[in-house]
Amino acid sequence: MNGQRQSFPSPISGIITKLYIHEMDVLSYSSIIFEYEACHHSIIFKNLCGDCGIDLSQIKNTLLTSKHVNHVVPIEPSFSAIKITAEIAAKYDREERNYLLRKRKLHLLVDLDQTLVHTTNCVNHYPSSPDVVAFQLNIPISQTLYTKLRPGVKEFLTNLQSFYQFHIVTFGDRPYANAIAKLIDPDGNFFSDRILSRDECVSLTDKSANLNRLFPCGDS
């Protein structure tokens, strides 16, 4: 009014779907300014909605919170801070399933220790063994680990890559899993970000109990 900026708070958080006015337009009381709809908060990053930007931690006991915010899953085990609704997860699951069907591939879950690699903190065989790699982890305390790839690991993965999409499932913690994945697969050709570590597991005794972290819509 009179060239002054005026705010019109909305009773619900939402997204503008259609805008009817432009700068310098003359409005009447019956003018339709825009259309908007309630935000479903389909993508959430650390309690911030990726669609409307609202801080969901400030919303309590509302229909939108109970309907959407409580039904979210991590978009990837390695990106647990980014969560999506069950509906979006189902959409991604269908796309992934259709992609694998077109490629005629199955999922293959592989462990790290005693499967693809052997790792120890004992220095006895280093550096006398040329195929032993030393690296440092700083969590929770700094330590040097020594890892040897099982013979034929990269050939095994290469030969099966046309038949399977690989996932790492390990009870090693996230920094260790990332370090070993980079050692085996420095370019991300085999595993990409498909890594489930103990930091994301719901059970530390039964790996099959953690499959819903990889396949939130089911593993059938």
Q: What DSSP element (H or E) covers 159?
A: helix 153-160
Query: With the CA atoms of 162, 163, 169 and 173 taken in that order, what torsion angle do they form, in degrees rounded to the nearest 10?
Result: 0
Mean pLDDT calculated for residue range 8-26: 80
What does the pLDDT look like over 29-65, one tens digit per residue?
888 888 888 888 888 888 888 888 888 887 654 444 4
Give this prediction's pTM: 0.73
Query: What's the average model confidence in pLDDT over 151-174?
Result: 96
Amino acid identity of 214?
L
Chain-wide mean pLDDT for the chain? 85
Mean pLDDT along residues 210-220: 78
Give the pLDDT of residue 65.
46
- Distance between terminal CA atoms of the chain? 60
CATH number of 102-220: 3.40.50.1000
Q: Give the start-to-end residue ranges of the domains of the chain.
A: 1-71, 102-220
Rg (CA), the chain: 25
Q: Residue 57: what pLDDT? A: 81
185-196 pLDDT, tens digit per residue, is 999 999 999 999
